[in-house]
Structure 1
Amino acid sequence: MQSIADAIADRRLPPGTKLTEERLTQIFGVSRARIRAALAALAQIGVVELRPNRGAYVARPSVREAREVFEARRIVERGLLDRLTRSGPLPAEALARLRAHLALEKAAEAAGNRAASIRLSGDFHLLLADLAGNGTLAAFLDTLVRQSSLAIAALEVRPATDCAAHEHEAIVEALATGHADRATDLMIEHLGAVEDRLAPDAAVPDVDLFAVFGRAGLAG
C-alpha cells in the first residue's frame, strides 16, 4: 500500500488515474486480494475512489472538497501550533530538527527536484505535528496533507511547490523567538496562498502504471 500511497503523494499517479488491479498484481507480484485490500485502505483515507463495476481510480477532489480539506488543515494546524508554543520558544533540539528539514527543502528546490520538494513540503507540517506531541492530531493531519496534495494536483492553476521553503523558514524563526501568534499567522497565510491557486480543471491523465512503478515491491 505504501508504494501506491507514495506515488499518489508524489503526484506520479495524478488524480483520475485508473488503478487496474491486473496490472498492479503484475507489477508487485502479489495476489489480487492483497491489491484490493491496499486500494480499499487508500479509499478509507480519501486518496482512492472505488467505483462500482468500474474499478479503482486515484481520487479527483471537487473544488468544494478541496476547500473543505484546506479549512480542516487551518483548524488542525492552528491547534497544533498552539500546543507546540504553550511553553514559549521551542527547545534547541526541536529547532535543530526543523532547521535540518529546512536544509533538505532548500536543497530539493535548488536541484529542481519537484517530487522531493512536494514530499518534503508535506513532511514539514507532519514534523511540526510530531513535535507538538499529539499522535491523534498528527495522524489526522497526515490524511489531510495527502488529500490536499491530491487537490493541488487536480486543481492548481500553475505548477508550484505547495509550501516554498522560505515560507517554512519564516514560521520556524517565529517559533524560535517565541512569537507564537506570528507563527500561526504565517501558517494560515501560506495555507491560504496554496488554496488560492486552485481552480477547476477537467483534464484526466493517461498514465502507464508500469512506467510509474517498474517492478518495485509492494510495501505495507
Structure 2
Amino acid sequence: MAKTTSTDVDAPGAPSVDEISERILQAIWEHRLPPGTKLVEEKLSEVFGVSRTKIRLALGRLSHDSILTVEPNRGTFVASPTVEQARQVFNARRVLEPALLRDLSGQVRREQLARLRKNIALEGEARERNDRRATIRLSGQFHLLIAELGQNPYLHKCIRELCSLTCLVIALYDAPGTPACPHHEHDAIVDALEQGDAERACMLMIEHLTHIENTLRLEMPGDEEIDFRAVFA
C-alpha cells in the first residue's frame, strides 16, 4: 500500500475549493502574488492543509477566468498581461461599467448608496493609514459592488474577471507611490448616481478608468522569490 503523505488528505477544518480560490484571488488583488508567480501545487497543498486535487481544482477555476495561465510542461502561473492586453482590459471596462451605471441610475436605492459610501469611507481610512493592500482591495470592491447592485450575474462575472486582471496590470505597470484608483473619483460617481444623472455618472466612470490607465508605465519588474507560507499566513 502506498504511503499517505500530507498532501493526500485534507487537514481538519481545511478550506473548501471556493475558499482557496478566493484566498488566492485576494492575494493577487492585494499584490501579494505578483504577475508571473509560479503556483506549485505541492507547496500550496502544504500551506492550506488540503490535497493536491483540491488545489488543482482551485487553480483550474482561476485559470478559466484568465487570472492564471497554464503552460504545458512548466506549470501554473499568475497571469502577466501584456501592454496590449492591458489596454484591452481598460477598453472593455469603459464599455461595461458605464452600462452598469446607466441601468442603476434612477433606480438605485438609499441602502445601496449607503453600501457604496461605506466602501469609499473604508478605502479612505486605508489610505490614511497607508495600508496599500487594503486600499487596492477596497478600490476594486467599489467597482464589484456596482456590478453586484446591477443584479446582472453575467456582467458581474465579467467585471470580476476584468477587475482581477486590472490588479495584475497595476502590479506590473503602475508608477511607485501613485494611487491607482483615487477614491474622490468614486465619490463623484456615487454623487451622480444619487442625483439620477446617468450621463454624468457614465462620463465620470470613463474618465476614472482612463485616469487609472494613464498612471501605467511600460516597465517589467524583475523576478522575485515568493514565500507562499508568508503570503497565506
TM-score, scaled to structure 2: 0.86
Q: Deviations over 1:38-76 (max 9, x none)?
A: 112111111111111111111111001111111111111
Shift of 1:206: 2.0
Matched, 1:27 2:39: no
Shift of 1:109: 1.1
What SS is found at the alignment partner of 2:175? coil
Matched, 1:9 2:52: no
The range that moved more, 192-201 or 182-191, is 192-201
In structure 2, what is the Cα distance between the partners aligned to 1:172 and 1:127? 12
Q: Which consecutive unaligned segments of at least 5 residues does structure 1 have?
A: 215-220
Equivalent of 1:137, from 148, 155, 175? 155
What SS is found at the alignment partner of 2:218? coil
In structure 1, what is the Cα distance between the partners aligned to 2:90 and 2:40? 30
Runs of 4+ in 1 over 6 A off after TM superposition: none
TM-score, scaled to structure 1: 0.91
Match of 1:100 in 2: 118
Aligned residue-pair number: 212
In structure 1, what is the Cα distance between the partners aligned to 2:150 and 2:44? 38
Bigger Rg, structure 1 or 2: 2
CA contact (8 A) 2:108 2:193 kept: yes
Q: Which consecutive unaligned segments of at least 5 residues does structure 2 have?
A: 1-20
Amino acid at match of 2:209: L
Shift of 1:184: 0.9
Match of 1:217 in 2: none
In structure 2, what is the Cα distance between the partners aligned to 1:160 and 1:63? 19
Matched, 1:174 2:199: no
Distance verdict in 2 for CA 1:37–1:91, change over 3 Å: closer
Shift of 1:89: 6.5
Amino acid at match of 2:231: V
Match of 2:180 in 1: 162
CA contact (8 A) 1:84 1:132 kept: yes
In structure 2, what is the Cα distance between the partners aligned to 1:93 and 1:20? 43
Larger relative contact order (Cα-Cα within 8 Å, sequence gap ≥ 6): 1
Shift of 1:159: 3.9
RMSD of Structure 2 on Structure 1 (CA): 1.4
CA contact (8 A) 1:158 1:197 kept: no
The range that moved more, 101-110 or 159-168, is 159-168
Shift of 1:113: 1.0
CA contact (8 A) 1:25 1:35 kept: yes
Q: Deviations over 1:77-133 (max 9, x none)?
A: 011011111xx2633222222212221111111111111111111111111112222
Sequence identity, in percent? 46
Shift of 1:209: 1.1
Amino acid at match of 1:113: D
Match of 2:232 in 1: 213
Match of 2:100 in 1: 80
CA contact (8 A) 1:126 1:141 kept: yes
In structure 2, what is the Cα distance between the partners aligned to 1:178 and 1:99? 16
Shift of 1:136: 1.4
Q: Deviations over 1:117-165 (max 9, x none)?
A: 1111111111111222212111111111011111111122334333111
In structure 1, what is the Cα distance between the partners aligned to 2:55 and 2:113? 40
The range that moved more, 99-108 or 73-82, is 99-108
Match of 1:46 in 2: 66
Amino acid at match of 2:98: R
